[in-house]
Amino acid sequence: MDIGKAVINWLVAALLVSAFLFPASAVQTPSSIQIGTFNLEFFTDLDRSTGGWCERHNHRGLEEIRELAAFIDSLDIEVLALQEVEDEAAMELLVSFLPQDKYGYLVIPQEVPETCQKVAVLYQREEVMLSYQGRIPLSLGRFGLRDGLVVYAKVLPNGFDFTLVVVHLKASFDSRSRGIRARQLALLGDWVEGYLADPSNDRDLVLTGDFNEHLLTNRRALELLDHGEGLRVITEDVPDKDCTPPGRRWTDPIDHIVISPGVQEYMGEAMLDNFFLDPSLPDRYSYSDHCVLWGDFDPADLDPLSEP
């Protein structure tokens, strides 16, 4: 047998076997990753001895949580900021209904002031690495309010890295609540300004969560947050902003994702999932009174190289 032909036949066979064992989809990096936010509305650990007020308002049982977890997993969002989570036990309950070992989480370690509505992050462990960086005192020391959670995130193995801030600002639109929220926005704006002024910080900053404010239409609120830094509210890129929980219709979102000018990885597309309209989700009204918001980002690190 001709040796040259034998070598060629062997190489062809090896390529066919490798293509079968390692299909392209198994080795390609994803074309995008999603960073999102979802207010879970009184998500507790179902332990009536803890949680107090939040536990009394939690309307879910285990079957509703099972369906909620399946819905969250179906979204396939790599980094999902969460609001109104009671504690780590509540996150353990949620994760227990998600695919084993797929997700990790961080819950803000806020003990004072006391709140049963903490902020947290759920993330896909094989896609993204997260580490806790600190808190922003957005609670203003007031019982029930929430501090901001700061984490460092990096797409694995060596992709897009950014600082993520998760917030849940004061609810309601009475004058007192608006005043408190204005103070929170100003404080957050000061923190952002200081963060971006420090050259040692990563230039990619992503703020996400329940701002309880119409940042797309309330110019004053946005000015309190953006001290001339050129922040971008990517919620504006959502093509259909309707959110229709039972008996309501929101068209001017209060849940937002805001990015710093340095975030080149944002791909210009954002989505609001109005799952309340999906009849295939029988317990959808128990999930939350908020829709899910996310944006698409390039998983590669597009930061310009530093000067030598």
Long-range Cβ contacts of 44-52 (<8 Å, 24+ apart)? 44/86, 44/90, 44/116, 45/86, 45/87, 45/89, 45/90, 45/92, 45/93, 46/93, 47/89, 50/86, 50/87, 50/89, 50/116, 51/86, 51/87, 51/116, 52/116
User: Which string of b and e fits 117-128 if b means at least 16 CB within 10 Å?
Assistant: bbbbbbbbeebb
User: Quick one: the chain helix, strand, coil %, rounded to 5?
Assistant: 30, 25, 45
Q: In this structure, what DSSP letter does residue 306 have?
A: P
- Residue 87, pLDDT above cutoff 90: yes
Where residue 159 falls among pLDDT bands split at 50, 70, 90?
very high
Q: What's the predicted TM-score (pTM) here?
A: 0.90
**Residue range 218-264, pLDDT digits in tens:** 999 999 999 999 999 999 999 999 999 999 999 999 999 999 999 99
* Domains of the chain, each with CATH number or no CATH: 32-297 (3.60.10.10)
Q: Is the pLDDT of residue 133 over 90?
A: yes
* Residue 275, pLDDT above cutoff 80: yes
Query: Strand runs (DSSP E) across 86-204, as ranges?
Result: 103-107, 118-124, 128-136, 148-155, 161-168
Residue 273 CA to residue 77 CA, distance in Å, equals 12
pLDDT tens column, 27-66? 456 799 999 999 999 999 999 888 788 999 998 999 999 9
Task: Work out whether the CA dihedral 71, 234, 218, 222 comes out positive or negative.
Answer: positive
Q: How many C-beta atoms surround the C-beta of residue 201 within 10 A?
A: 14
